[in-house]
Amino acid sequence: MIQIPRDISSPRQPTGLRLAVSATLVAWLGGCATTPQPDAHVTAPVPPQYADWFDGGQPRTLEWMHKNTVEKAQQLLEQGRSQQAIAELETLMQKGLPKGYYEMAKIFDQGKGVPPDPERAARLYSEAIKTPSYITGNASLNLAKLYREGRGVERNDVLAYYLIQQAIEEEVGPRAQAAMAELLVEGGNGVKADPEQAAALYRRAAEADNATALEALAKAHGPGGWLAEDRGLASQYAQRYAELLEQDARAGDVGAMNQLAGVFAEDGLMGNQPQRHMHWLNKAAEAGDPGALSRAGRALVEGNAPQRGLAMLEQAALDGDTSAMETLGKLMLEGNANVPASPERAQHWLSAAIAQGSVDAQVTLGRALLEGEGLPANPRRGVELLKKAGERDDALALALLGAYYLGDEGHASQPMQAREYLERANELGHPYATQQLGQMYLEGNGVPADGQRAEALLKDAADQGQTAALRMLGEAYLEGEVLPYHPSKAEELLTRAADAGDASAKTALGAGYLEGTLQQRQPSRGVALLEEAAREGDAYAMVVLGRAYRKGDGVPRDLGKASEWLNRAREAGHGSAEDALSRLRYDQGKAGNINALVQAAEDGHPGSMARLGEAFLNGRGVQQNLGAARSWLQRAASEGHPGASADLGRMYLEGKGVARDPARGARYLQQAVAGGHVGARGDLGKLLLTGEGVSADPERGMRLLEQAAARGNSGARLALADALLEGEHVAQDTQRGIELLRESAEAGNDYAAQRLGAAYLEGKGVEPDPQQAKTWLTQASEAGSLSARTLLGTALLRGEGGMSVDAARGRRLLEQAAEQGHAGAQATLGRELLRGETLGQDLRQGADYLLEAARQGHETARLALAKAYLTANGLENANREQALLWLDEVMDGDGEMAAQTLHDLLSDQDAMQALQVASAER
């Protein structure tokens, strides 16, 4: 390939030269030759290595010396004897005659009897213009076209500009004017656009009936053209263009016939005129043009004569037309109402087109074999064909390869390989590849998640018509993970995708309106969109509707409708439908229809087995039956249900309905963890941390707790906080423990708030802070924590931890906790009423509170009562264990008799005094 240096820049010309340039163009229009010089349209002079193309050397016309030779060569070409024609012209080239180089260049430029060779044609044209002659203008113009198109040479718009300028100076006429106009319409690399001058040049060429100019002006004045829209003027130019073509077509010009057929096509300049379109296609086909035969065949197959069209396509294919082979292959691969699919014939014609070098056929056949569409799947052969097409920079082939390596159906996913193909396809401008690449960066699939890069790629793909990219962006803005949460942007993008017909976008938009994740909750609009998406076959829309009716979220609760939608989703094959149905059956069971859940479990649905086992375990919707619970949970666990494994693990850890077996419980928890169950991860972490019944592994236990906490498991977070605060089994880290407690407390966890309040009260891991202690203990108390009420009540009663005394509120909190059975509150009230210091003394009520606390096993209450018994019997130094046994015997008896026995005991002054002393010791 001829190389042209890219760096041909020179100082820009001042804008004041515009008038001078206009004068130059006027000179061109008048036919005056000028020496090519930089002007306001170009940014560089003629490159030095090409100066001899424009230096006006010694002319050598001598037409009379070679006229006969040229005519003979042309006759030989018409007879199909191209090699003899070439030999004749070589005699002129040996003499250095420009005409010989020019005629030889045209042979290789146009492929007259030889394969086209634009690189060789460019060298020959350049030799033709080195010596001035009467063919300099035409040779310059033809060479300029090669540089404009980058055929055989590196594209160079500046050099093309000077060559066209030379052609104008050589008075080539309308062809050169049209070529310069085409260059100035949009400009090029190093050539500035000048639509005004382009229009003037086109009009001058059109006055001379130049077909190129007439066509260009018809388009320019039409809708979306670059000149002022004028349908009348556009029609006039189009009519004149058609008349010129018709003259040439009637004279036998096959190219004109094809162009004329295009003028009358659906998107042609003269509008859709099917009869005239087919007339000229048939004329071109009859003239032996396989391409026209192929196009006519396609039109008939799509129209009302499919069999005739097929025959024409097959004839064109047999005549070597690659396009016809491609068309037949695709048609017989897919089939339609008029043409039955024929896989064998499809593969035959696509293979024939591939043998002719068709990249399109490689992609079509490769895709069919890769995906098993229309042909038996053969991924290895499909990938091989697509790779060959990819080597020739076919963007679709690269995009398909990227999608293949991203997937994992029948092969291991290879994200890095996929990324390479998608990057190349993206650089080539394939929108589907751009979308896939954006999705990779959005999901962090094989690449680090990068919201900025994902956003740019998906926007680019959306601008190119990929509605799925609009949806992905909208969903990402709604999720607020990789991209910032932005509901208004999400709504706008999802609406655009939904309006474009994307059913999944309708589902996402409908769910957003129904669930309130968009700016404004609009349940009725959400349901309408979801039902529309469901009618279009979107199974997830059915799931969302089923869940909404099950929960009564945005719609009236209706388990019947929920069942209808979720069953439809399951029939449509949505993976989450079965789990949602098992939850529905669970709800139906709680509502009295436990048979629905039993039936689903007996049908073998793991989720329903797990739900039924859980129902029997907790007595929800059925009478508690731990044996049945274990049976159903084991069946579900054997099917791989992680929730069932987690429940079984806890049963064996607690000895609930089974013999306590921590090792077996740990194995079930491990199964649940492997299945992704977050709660099991926390439970196993706590077990390994303490090593109760299993081999302790504090390091792994902490790691599991960290993972579960990071996934939002509140129990794991609290266990982690406790471990770090206490420093048991792991290195103590009170600061981190406090941080974890604060996170949970701020999220509304009452136990975390209680623990945090106690830490500030006791100064454990933090500086004592009575106000913080009061705030967090109050939060936990109001959330219903009896332990928090007891802690706060005791602190207010006694002024512990630096808290201001508020005996009335403290007593009220303790009495509330005591009434609800909190042994610690009962013991504290009992002691305080017996002592009579912070509260008025009430020996009988105090003793009653201690008795209630002792009945629940409260150790200090039990010891105080036992000490009173020993003292009353003169046995202060006797065995305390004997006293506790006596106490157990009394409390295990009749309740009223036990209370009376203890009251009789406490009527002894010495016993009461001993009780007061013991209570004061706490």
pLDDT digits (tens, 9 = 90+) for 846-856: 878 888 888 88
Helices (H) and strands (E) in the chain, counts: 49, 0
Sequence-separated (6 or more) residues with CB below 8 Å from residue 728? none
Average pLDDT over residues 576-598: 79
Tell me the C-alpha distance between 653 and 684, whole Å.
10
Strand partners, 2: 153
Q: Does residue 821 register a pLDDT over 60?
A: yes
Classify 153 as helix, strand or coil.
strand
Q: Measured on CA atoms in the order 755, 757, 762, 763, is the torsion positive or negative?
A: positive
Strand partners, 191: 42, 188
How would DSSP label each residue in 564-582?
A: HHHHHHHHTT-TTHHHHHH
Q: Does residue 124 register a pLDDT over 80?
A: yes
Tell me the C-alpha distance between 727 and 718, whole Å.
14
pLDDT digits (tens, 9 = 90+) for 338-372: 788 889 999 999 999 999 999 999 999 999 999 88
**Backbone torsions φ then ψ of 42, nearest 5 degrees:** -125, 150
pLDDT digits (tens, 9 = 90+) for 435-483: 999 999 998 888 888 999 999 999 999 999 999 999 999 999 988 888 9
Which helix (H) or strand (E) segment holds residue 396: the answer is helix 395-406
Tell me the C-alpha distance between 413 and 407, whole Å.
5
Tell me the C-alpha distance between 485 and 827, whole Å.
52
Do residues 467 and 502 lie in contact, with contact meaning Cβ atoms separated by under 8 Å?
yes
pLDDT digits (tens, 9 = 90+) for 244-266: 998 988 988 888 888 888 888 88
Tell me the C-alpha distance between 85 and 75, whole Å.
8
Least confident residue range of 25-29, 575-579, 619-623, 870-874: 25-29
The pLDDT of residue 434: 96
What the block records as the tokens of 72 is 């003979």
How would DSSP label each residue in 35-70?
A: -----TTBSS---GGGGGGSS-------HHHHHHHH
Least confident residue range of 24-38, 148-162, 800-814, 852-866: 24-38
What percentage of the chain has pLDDT greater than the value 90? Answer: 41
Tell me the C-alpha distance between 220 and 306, whole Å.
36
pLDDT digits (tens, 9 = 90+) for 760-804: 888 887 888 999 989 999 998 888 889 889 899 888 888 888 888
Tell me the C-alpha distance between 881 and 889, whole Å.
13
Tell me the C-alpha distance between 725 and 737, whole Å.
5
What the block records as the tokens of 469 is 């990219």
What percentage of the chain has pLDDT greater than the value 70? Answer: 88
- pLDDT confidence band for 734 (50 / 70 / 90): confident
Average pLDDT over residues 212-233: 93
Do residues 687 and 662 lie in contact, with contact meaning Cβ atoms separated by under 8 Å?
yes
Residue of higher predicted confidence among 318 and 592: 318
Kindly report the average pLDDT of the chain as a whole number. Answer: 84
> Which amino acid, residue 368?
A
Q: How far is CA 416 from the centre of its chain?
A: 17
Least confident residue range of 36-40, 68-72, 193-197, 606-610: 36-40
Least confident residue range of 149-153, 294-298, 350-354, 405-409: 294-298
The pLDDT of residue 317: 84
Closest Cα to residue 222, out of 209, 235, 211, 204? 235
Average pLDDT over residues 616-638: 89
- pLDDT confidence band for 20 (50 / 70 / 90): very low
Q: Measured on CA atoms in the order 822, 823, 826, 831, is the torsion positive or negative?
A: negative
Tallying the residues shown for the chain, one arrives at: 922
Residue of higher predicted confidence among 32 and 486: 486
pLDDT digits (tens, 9 = 90+) for 877-903: 545 565 566 566 655 655 565 556 666
Closest Cα to residue 547, out of 530, 535, 534, 565? 565
Predicted TM-score of the model (pTM): 0.52
